[in-house]
Structure 1
Amino acid sequence: MTEFQPRRAARVLLVDGAERVLLFHGVDPGRPEHRYWFTPGGGLAPDEPAVAGAVRELAEETGLVRPAVDLGKPVFRETTEFPFDGVWYRQQQEFFLLRVASWVVDTAGFDEIEKDSIIDHRWWSIAELERTKERYYPDELTTVLRRVLGKD
């Protein structure tokens, strides 16, 4: 039986004026063949409110600074289990929606783990995500985007 490390996280569905979502392209250092796309965000400190963590992670990973009120309430929650760098996590995560007209991503705030595991970023349309053979998380991303963008 796998022993899971519990973790809480906050993630951001950052959507531009063309209704594309920003995703990072990552690689698991413990499994270099495992590549995937994922939303900005990350782990929370023990007592950190999810929205505060989302604001902090957004600033660190994209350079975009916005107040918590701009993110509002979570639009999606899930519990996911995954390995990363040899550790199995059971992560409870909340997703927030933030719309911007456009944004030039600034990754200068990446920490060492992010520098070692994030290899690219790009903006994806729902249609591109539905067509791609590449792996992205969460698995329900297109369904969530359709719902929160009023496209369903």
Structure 2
Amino acid sequence: MSSPPDSPVVEAAGCVLWRRSPADGSLLLCLVHRPKYDDWSHPKGKLKPDEDALRGALREVAEETGHTAAPGAELPTQHYLANGRPKRVRYWAAEATGGEFRPNTEVDRVLWLPPAAAKARLTQARDRDLVDALPATLRPAR
């Protein structure tokens, strides 16, 4: 399905939210389950009018996961059609720095998974590319 040439691009932003396992320092990624779509994805959402993309990405992380995050490198931007409209989603690597998940109307579950398990759980193939891009942006575990 193609969109009309004058369709405005839906601007969105999100994060590949990560933390180190307290048990062994291994990398864990946070995925969110959205009951409306019954899918697993990285936390993301539409930007508010005139909202800075990084600020919007961190806001979405907080709203969907309950976690604050320290942003890192920007990851590849995704472009696709959503409901027949072009959508652009900018992503950042972001380390979880605190907080606690509470189910809400948008997200009913979160999972912290190693990268291979996260890739297997993600619903959209395009989201798996972000998992592949993340390690190059991280400093080695201590």
In the superposition, the TM-score normalised over structure 2's length comes to 0.72
CA distance, structure 1, for counterparts of residue 121 and residue 61 of structure 2: 27
Secondary structure, aligned partner of 1:138: helix
**Does the 8 Å contact 1:7/1:89 carry over to 2?**
yes
Give the counterpart of 1:122 among 89, 105, 111. Answer: 111
How many residue pairs get aligned? The number is 131
Q: Relative to 1, partners in 2 of residues 1:72 and 1:148: Cα closer, same or farther, differing over 3 Å?
A: closer
**Does the 8 Å contact 2:73/2:137 carry over to 1?**
no
User: Which structure: greater strand fraction?
Assistant: 2
Deviation at 1:47, TM superposition (A): 1.3
Report the equivalent of 1:7: 10
Deviation at 1:74, TM superposition (A): 2.0
CA distance, structure 1, for counterparts of residue 14 and residue 77 of structure 2: 10
Report the equivalent of 1:77: 77
CA distance, structure 2, for counterparts of residue 55 and residue 42 of structure 1: 10
Q: Relative to 1, partners in 2 of residues 1:2 and 1:44: Cα closer, same or farther, differing over 3 Å?
A: same
Report the equivalent of 1:92: 88
Q: Relative to 1, partners in 2 of residues 1:81 and 1:65: Cα closer, same or farther, differing over 3 Å?
A: same
Report the equivalent of 1:147: 136
Report the equivalent of 1:60: 63
Q: What stretches of structure 2 of length at least 5 have no aligned partner?
A: 22-26
Q: Relative to 1, partners in 2 of residues 1:150 and 1:105: Cα closer, same or farther, differing over 3 Å?
A: same
Report the equivalent of 1:43: 46
Deviation at 1:140, TM superposition (A): 0.8
Letter in structure 1 aligned against 2:13: A
For residues 23-77 of structure 1, the C-alpha deviation after alignment (integer angstroms, 9 at most, x for no partner) is: 1123455xxxxx42111121002311101101221221222245xxx31552321
Indicate whether 1:24 and 2:32 are aligned.
Answer: yes
Deviation at 1:101, TM superposition (A): 6.2
Letter in structure 2 aligned against 1:17: R
In the superposition, the TM-score normalised over structure 1's length comes to 0.68
Secondary structure, aligned partner of 2:102: coil
CA distance, structure 1, for counterparts of residue 15 and residue 53 of structure 2: 11
Q: What stretches of structure 1 of length at least 5 have no aligned partner?
A: 30-34
